[in-house]
Structure 1
Amino acid sequence: MGNALSLDQPDICNFSPLHSASANGHAEMVKWLIKKGADVNAVGGRHRHTPLHVSARSGNLDVIKALVEGGANINEADTEGRTVLTLAVSQGNEECVKYLLDLGARVNHEEHGEITALRLAVFGGNVPVVRLLLEKGARIVHSHHLMHSAVMNNSLEIIQMLLESGGLVNARDDEGGTPLMVACSRKNIPLARYLISRGADANHVSHVDGKTALHVCAMEVRESKAASQLVELLVTNGADMNFSSYQGLPLHYSIVMDNKAVATKMVQLGADVNLKDERIIFDALSFAMRYADLELVKIIIFAGFKLSNMRCDPWQMRKEQIDAKCEFLHYVKTNPLSLKELSRIVVRRQLGCRDLLGSLAKLPLPPIIQKYIALEIL
């Protein structure tokens, strides 16, 4: 290596000795090569990386400093549009990111595919790096769906930072879903509660598939406790169980999706079991006779379903010669409900569906009577 030309002699991958020293974290060798005249901004490899690019991948701050002090361009982009900053962020290296930002690295540079340093940091769930980037002026681009990514990572700290920096709590992704819908699908009750406290709309309807947060619960939340808590959280914060989108009524949808926990909770909370979707022939009880079990059929009837509203012949829907659901329905049709059962229906109607359980809890009734009215006891 007696002259400048040999110092930059590429290997089979078109990387120079300075690339190799940088990639392997040899800070002293990097300084020596630069002192001897090596090209600090030489490009190599199929992505045309500079030594600074490869040092960012290895995350060696001493090497990065040596290259920068030797004249390396911190904003040089490779063939994919990646800069040293975005590479350092993708490696999660807080020290390197801070150093580059302090030197003036372009915080809002976009790689190919609209990828920014902030988008990478949020996707990686890196709280300190997200904080650094926002402090240095990183823009929140709503089409990047940063809030949704933060919710998927269950990162409350990042969600808080994004909201404080201009993120939208009701931002929509490409499917029309909101961060609250994502929190519901992830069964993250604390996050869902936090988003609602910050103004998340529990009644938002996806413009793509017509789902609301209640529809999402019906489709994706199968565990009984989580389903019950999420549905109650949504309803007590304004979710309309009786609103029909082009996915249909949430109650009907939950029955068709065979989600007994969600369907049961909605009925207990006061969903109108007599509502019909005029676009289809089925009602709540017809759906339950086809898709649900005997217990849900009983819950719907004891919630006040009017048998005259049933559009389908249950005997044509039975799957076996002896069908417990059909037998029970026949019994109800031929034997009137008891005074106790009728009284429960009247009390539930008076309480309404806005906060049925909350209103019920305020009544001076024994716990067992409250459970009976709430359909926890049939």
Structure 2
Amino acid sequence: MGSAKYSLSERTALVRMSLHLMSAVRSDKLYLADPMMQLEEAPLHHCNISDILRIADYAQTANSSTVGFSAVYVASQNNHLQVLQALIASDADVNIANNKGDTPLLFACSIGHALVTQELLAAGANKNHTNSNGTSAVLIASQNNHLQVLQALIAADADVNIANNEGVYPLLIACEIGHVLVTQELLAAGANKNCTDTNGISAVYAASQNNHLQVLQTLIAADADVNIANNEGLMKSFQNNHLQVLEALISADADVNIANNGGL
């Protein structure tokens, strides 16, 4: 349904109602007023589904294109699972993005709402969508160490090898920060263990530079290349006195004579 199907008076009323819905979704409450009765409060998920559909439909067409936040987006952001389920049952679009390209799924993954993530995926959310920065749901979950969210995405066959606009892969960011379990999950799901960003930084380099020994050991166990061209991981270990990391690299046959771009 679209706004053309409503009269001017209906559109005016629905604008008010749609704004009301957006506020209601944030608080998990909806205030419904019968013309013949006093305004009373009820949880949104207990409301008549046709009321939700009618309001959500106009909220979607009238507001999301300008404000950038749909009712589904707000429900996902605030972890209101039953509200989200009510909206999905009314055929609300789960793939409407804001003006930065962030969808409800991306935001749910950034906060760590595993059940909301599963609900959105089951409703057809684009598991491989990227925002204006090229950031995917898998990258967001990996960066924020949201293991259950990542597992839900992997179970839905999300691509674990989508890099952002700077060439940063989910595995790279997990190794840089030191998320061991996320690193293991990504590798098990087929993440490219030898991926590099636009600066030639590999997962081994990222783990070595930041002294994440367990992450490095995980990569070595997965047979990651410790001698990727332009990789300064070993040199950084010398400079930063990461002795255990250095020992692990040498044990994995890292070339102690490898030079960086400056010939050092």
- Measured against the shorter chain, the TM-score band is 0.7 to 0.9
The change in CA–CA distance for 1:249 and 1:180 in structure 2 (over 3 A counts) is: same
Structure 1: which amino acid aligns with 2:23?
Answer: V
**SS at 1:73 equivalent:** helix
Corresponding residue for 1:268? 251
* Pairwise CA distance, 1:40: 4.2
* Separation in structure 2 between the aligned mates of residue 58 and residue 231 of structure 1, nearest angstrom: 44
Partner of 1:195: 186
Q: Is the 8 A contact 1:40 1:71 kept in 2?
A: no
2:210 match: 220
Report if the CA contact (8 A) 2:142-2:170 is conserved: yes
How far 1:173 sits from its partner (Å)? Answer: 2.1
Instruction: Establish whether residue 145 from structure 1 lines up as the match of residue 128 from structure 2.
Output: no
**How high is the sequence identity, in percent, across the aligned residues?**
22
1:63 Cα deviation from its structure 2 partner: 5.5
Query: Structure 1 pair 43/211, CA: closer, same or farther in 2 (3 Å)?
Result: same
Aligned-residue offset at 1:164: 3.0
Q: 1:117 to 1:213 in 2, by over 3 A?
A: same
> 2-side partners of 1:259 and 1:111: how far apart?
43
Superimposed CA distance per residue, residues 86-134 of structure 1 (whole angstroms, 9 cap, x where no aligned partner): 1111111011000111011111112211121111111121111111111
1:277 and 2:259 matched: yes
Unaligned runs of 5+ in 2: 1-9, 31-41
Q: 1:46-85 residue pairs with structure 2 within 5 A?
A: 50-60=19-29, 62=42, 64=44, 65=47, 69=51, 72-75=54-57, 76-77=59-60, 78=63, 79-85=66-72
Q: Which has the higher contact order (CA 8 A, sep 6+)?
A: 2
Which consecutive residues of structure 1, in runs of 5 or more, have no partner in the other structure? Answer: 1-36, 222-226, 283-378
Change (3 A) 1:146 1:280: same
Quick one: distance in 1 between partners of 2:52 and 2:83? 17
Structure 1 pair 174–70 and aligned structure 2 pair: CA distance change class (3 A): closer
CA distance in 2 between partners of 1:209 and 1:260 (Å): 25
Query: Equivalents in 1 of 2:262, 2:76: separation in Å?
Result: 52
Which residue of the partner structure matches residue 253 of structure 1? 236
Tell me, in whole angstroms, the C-alpha distance in 2 between the residues paired with 1:100 and 1:216.
Answer: 42
Conserved? CA contact 1:40–1:51, under 8 Å: no
TM-score by length of structure 2 reads 0.78
**1:90 maps to 2:63:** no
Give yes or no for contact 1:241–1:249 (8 Å, CA) kept in 2: no
Q: What is the correspondence of 1:1-378 to structure 2 with a 5 Å cutoff?
A: 40-43=13-16, 50-60=19-29, 62=42, 64=44, 65=47, 69=51, 72-75=54-57, 76-77=59-60, 78=63, 79-140=66-127, 141-142=129-130, 143-206=134-197, 208-221=198-211, 227-245=212-230, 248-273=231-256, 275-277=257-259, 279-282=261-264
TM-score, with length taken from structure 1: 0.56
Query: What stretches of structure 1 move > 4 A for 4+ residues in a row?
Result: none
Larger radius of gyration: 1
- RMSD value, Cα: 2.7
Cα 1:279–1:84 shift into 2, 3 Å: closer
